[in-house]
Structure 1
Amino acid sequence: KAAEVIDQVEALQAQFRQELGSTFAWLADEWYLLAGRELPPAEHYEDYPQLGNGVGSLRLFLSEFEQVRLPAGIPAPLKVLWVVGNAVEQAFQPVVKRMNGIRGLQLDLLPIASQFWGQTLTVTGLLTGQDILGALKSVENLASYDGLLLPQIALKDGERFLDDLTWQELQAQVGIPVVRVDGGPAGLLQAVQGLGSRAAPG
Structure 2
Amino acid sequence: MVLISGVEKNSLAEEKGVKKGDKLLEIDGKKPRDYIDYMLGTSRPYFELLIEKQVGGQRRRLNFNRSYGDRVGLEFEELIFDELKTCQNDCFFCFVDQQPPDVRDTLSCKDDDYRFSFLKGSFITLTNLADMEYQRIVENNLSPLYISVHTTNPDLRQRMMSNKKAGRIKSQLEYLEDKGIKFHVQLVICPGWNDGEELDRTLDDLLNYSNSLLSAGIVPVGLTAWREQNDIKCFDAERARKTTARVKKWQKKSRELYGENIIFLADEFYLLADESIPEEDHYLGYPQLSNGIGLTRLSRNKFREKQKNLSRSNVVNSEVNIITGELGRQALEPVFAELDSIEGLNLKVIEIENCYLGEEVTVTGLLSGKDIIDEINSRDLKGYTFIPEVIFNDSGLTLDDLTLSDISEHCGGSDVFSCSGIEEVLEVLYDGESDGSYCRKA
| TM value normalised by structure 1 | 0.83
Q: Which residue in 2 is equivalent to 1:2?
A: 240
SS in 2 for 1:74: coil
2:400 aligned residue:
163
Which residue pairs with 2:369 in the alignment?
129
SS in structure 1 of the partner of residue 396 of structure 2: coil
Name the aligned partner's letter for residue 186 of structure 1.
E
SS of alignment partner, residue 73 of structure 1: coil
Structure 1: gaps spanning 5 or more residues: 197-202
What amino acid does structure 2 have at the position aligned with 1:116?
A: Y
User: Within 2, Cα distance between the matches of 1:194 and 1:64?
Assistant: 17
In structure 2, what is the Cα distance between the partners aligned to 1:169 and 1:105? 27
Secondary structure of 2:410 counterpart: helix
Q: Kindly state the Cα deviation for residue 146 of structure 1 after the two structures are TM-superposed.
A: 1.4
The 8 Å contact of residues 124 and 154 in structure 1, kept in 2 or not, is answered as yes
Mapping for residues 116-195 of structure 1, pairs under 5 Å? 116-120=356-360, 122-139=362-379, 142-143=380-381, 145-157=382-394, 159-175=396-412, 176-182=414-420, 184-193=421-430, 195=432
Match of 1:48 among 264, 286, 304: 286
1:194: how far off?
Answer: 5.2
- 1:38 is matched with 276
1:199 corresponds to which residue?
Answer: none
Deviation at 1:63, TM superposition (A): 1.8
Q: Tell me, what secondary structure is at the counterpart of 1:37? A: coil
Distance in 2, matches of 1:85 and 1:67, equals 24
Check if 1:73 corresponds to 2:311: no
SS in structure 2 at match of 1:114: coil
Q: Which has the larger radius of gyration?
A: 2
1:63 is matched with 301
Which amino acid in structure 1 is aligned with residue 358 of structure 2? G
Larger RCO (CA under 8 A, 6+ residues apart): 1
Change in 2 beyond 3 A, CA 1:147/1:89: same
Aligned residues: 191
Structure 1 residue 102: deviation in Å?
A: 3.2
Aligned 8 A contact 2:324 2:351 in 1 = yes
Indicate the structure with greater helix content: 1
**1:25 and 2:263 aligned:** yes
Partner of 1:200: none
**Contact 1:87–1:121 under 8 Å retained in 2:** no
Q: Which runs of 5+ in 2 are unaligned?
A: 1-238, 434-442
Does the Cα contact within 8 Å between 1:34 and 1:121 map onto a contact in 2? no
Partner amino acid, structure 2, of 1:119: E
Structure 1 window deviating more from structure 2 (79-88 vs 152-161): it is: 152-161
Structure 2 distance, partners of 1:158, 1:25, is 33
Cα pair 1:116 1:131 within 8 Å, conserved = yes
Give distance in 2, aligned partners of 1:119 and 1:42. 30
RMSD: 2.2
Q: Which residue among 326, 340, 348 is the counterpart of 1:108?
A: 348
8 Å Cα contact 2:299/2:423 also seen in 1: no
